[in-house]
Amino acid sequence: MTIDKFLRAALAGLALGLAVPAAPAAAETLQILAGSPNRPLQVPMNRAVVVESDIPFAEISIANPGIADISSLTDRTIYLLGKEPGRTTMTILGADGGLIANVEVQVTPDIAEFRERLAQVLPNEHVEVRTANDGIVLSGTVSSITALDAALELANRYAPDRVSNLMSVGGQQQVMLRVRFAEMQRSVAKSLSTSLGLGGTALGGDLGLTGGTNTLGSQGGLANGFAGNIPAATQNNGAILFGFNAGGVEVGILLEALESRGVVRTLAEPNLTALSGQEARFLAGGEYPVPISQEGGNITVEFKPFGVELNFTPRVVAGDLINIELEAAVSSIDPTNGININGFQIDAFRRRETSTTVEMRDGESFAIAGLLSDDFRDINGQVPWLGDVPVLGALFRSAEYERNQTELVIIITAHLVSPVRGDTLALPTDRVRPPSERDLFLFGRVSSDDAPQAGGAGEVARQDFSGSYGYVLD
């Protein structure tokens, strides 16, 4: 019976214990003991903390109310609200006016909420967030420039203009850009013209015309009949000059039939490597001096670059996706369109350039520029009325036909690259060695036949190639 009563009492006590509600958790506070806080007080912006003192106080003050706001709840409890990032001091005085404590208050950006938002926006990135003074410090390694920019933009929402970026971008961050300029020019010109000269004296004589030499006989009366239209010896393709006497009249006829064709091919292929986000410049050519007139009659010289120019800024956006800002140009001196000013001959420039921004993946190519120009010109001149006569009218007509076509294409290819050991790269000069005296004077060799044994050139030389290889092919 005694045991049974004991068990019943134990069960009743257990039931009462379970029915008693749990005490609420105490709020996080700063304890001020023996006149000094046990730690500096850090308050997130727009958040509040409670400060408790073991000594009743009579007055509290804050050095900079713009950073933090205070109010007393009891004579031992202070409510502190963070307003703006910064540092200030809270002073607590007793009833006798004596100093109880000076509390250092540091209001920091709310990085707890920032960490939550950062994890939502960039869940797969490892970004470490810290506070420094009144700003945010970001560190760690992200996978792309896009992720880095997103983290910085989000951090600026919580600490405008107070974000320190110590993050780095993983993966390959060096880009090699290959640009190919290909231009083809075709020209066709045809002309058919006839010139008639008349002259004479009362007596007949030898006409004295010699085709293609730009001379007329001194005895003939046509010395000025063609007004200098006879082509020179180096310009007389398809020109026929003949004449005859008709009594006292000398007749000279100049027939010109000319057809010319021309093809010009231009190709440039510069390669340039740069770090992601950094600008790279390339110029293979020269600089042309241009005189510039100054005040007082002085003349200075300004140099204009020409040749193959390439300026670009690559940005690895994500993975192998590359954003490229590009300026490319090919220029050459054009003396045919020059001008002469005060005795100075200034040549013109022939220039083809492009400026654009594109995105592509590693190894892909883009045709960023293309131009097809087709110029056509024809001229038909004749002697009035005589040129309209059938058959014979051809002797009094001249016709010219000219057509110029130009086609230009600029293609770029981007590659993600990484550095290699220097001895694995071969140069065009590695396989060319000066000849010995025996090779030069006895055999007429301008370079030695000894193949290099070390370095990248030696590795290439040891391979078995069935055809030509290298940088210069014959």
Phi/psi at 233 (5° precision): -65, -30
Choose among 259, 256, 264: nearest CA to 230.
Answer: 256
Classified as helix, coil or strand, 420 is coil
Total domains present in the chain: 4
Closest by CA to 200, choosing from 223, 166, 175, 226, is: 223
The confidence score (pLDDT) of residue 208 equals: 43
Does the residue 248 lie in any domain?
A: yes
Give me the pLDDT at residue 430, please: 66
Residues 38 and 104 in one domain: yes
Residue 306 lies in a domain: no
Looking at residue 22, its pLDDT comes to: 38
Calculate the alpha carbon distances from 355 to 311, 312, 345 in Å.
9, 9, 31
> Do 243 and 188 belong to one domain?
yes
Assess whether 147 and 97 both reside in one domain.
Answer: no
39 and 100 assigned to the same domain: yes
Distance CA 209, CA 455 (A): 72
pLDDT of residue 351: 86
**Residue 414 pLDDT:** 92
Are 99 and 156 within one domain? no
Q: What is the CATH number of the domain that holds 132?
A: 3.30.1340.30
Is residue 134 a part of any domain in this protein?
Answer: yes
372 belongs to a structural domain: no
Q: Are residues 234 and 217 in the same domain?
A: yes
Whether residues 79 and 122 share a domain: the answer is no
Q: What is the pLDDT of residue 467?
A: 56
Instruction: List Cα–Cα distances, 337 to 8, 347, 348, 378, 466, in angstroms.
Output: 118, 7, 5, 22, 48
**Can you tell me the distance from the alpha carbon of 266 to that of 331, in angstroms, rounded to the nearest whole number?**
11
On whether the CB atoms of residues 189 and 230 are closer than 8 A, the answer is no
Alpha carbons 277 and 316: distance in angstroms, whole number = 8
Helix pair angle (111-121, 145-158), 10° resolution: 150
**Domain edge (last residue) among 215, 234, 260:** 260
Query: Is residue 205 included in any domain, yes or no?
Result: yes
Task: Check residue 31 and give its pLDDT.
Answer: 58
In Å, what is the CA distance from 471 to each residue of 288, 410, 432?
29, 22, 12
Mean pLDDT per 10-residue section of the chain, whose length is 474 residues: 44 40 41 55 84 85 90 88 86 85 83 86 87 83 82 87 84 84 85 69 44 37 48 56 67 73 79 88 88 80 88 85 89 85 81 89 88 83 78 77 85 87 68 77 76 58 53 48
Point out which residues pair with 255 in neighbouring strands. Answer: 194, 240
pLDDT at residue 237, as a whole number: 57
Given this model, what pLDDT does residue 185 score? 84
Quick check: helix, strand or coil at residue 237? coil
Element (H, E) at 21: none
Residues 102 and 117 reside in one and the same domain: no
- Evaluate whether residue 208 is within a structural domain: yes
Q: Is residue 347 part of a domain?
A: no
Asked whether residue 91 is assigned to any structural domain, the reply reads: yes
Q: Are residues 143 and 90 in the same domain?
A: no
Q: Which residues contact 256 (CB under 8 A, 6 or more apart)?
A: 191, 192, 193, 194, 195, 231, 238, 239, 240
- Identify whether residues 82 and 67 lie together within a single domain: yes
Q: Are residues 103 and 125 in the same domain?
A: no
Find the CATH number of the domain harbouring 68.
2.60.40.1080
Domain span holding position 144 = 111-169
DSSP code, position 330? E
Confidence (pTM): 0.55
Q: Are residues 144 and 127 in the same domain?
A: yes
At residue 226, what is the residue type?
A: F
Domain boundary among 227, 243, 260: 260
From 240, 260, 280, the end of a domain falls on: 260
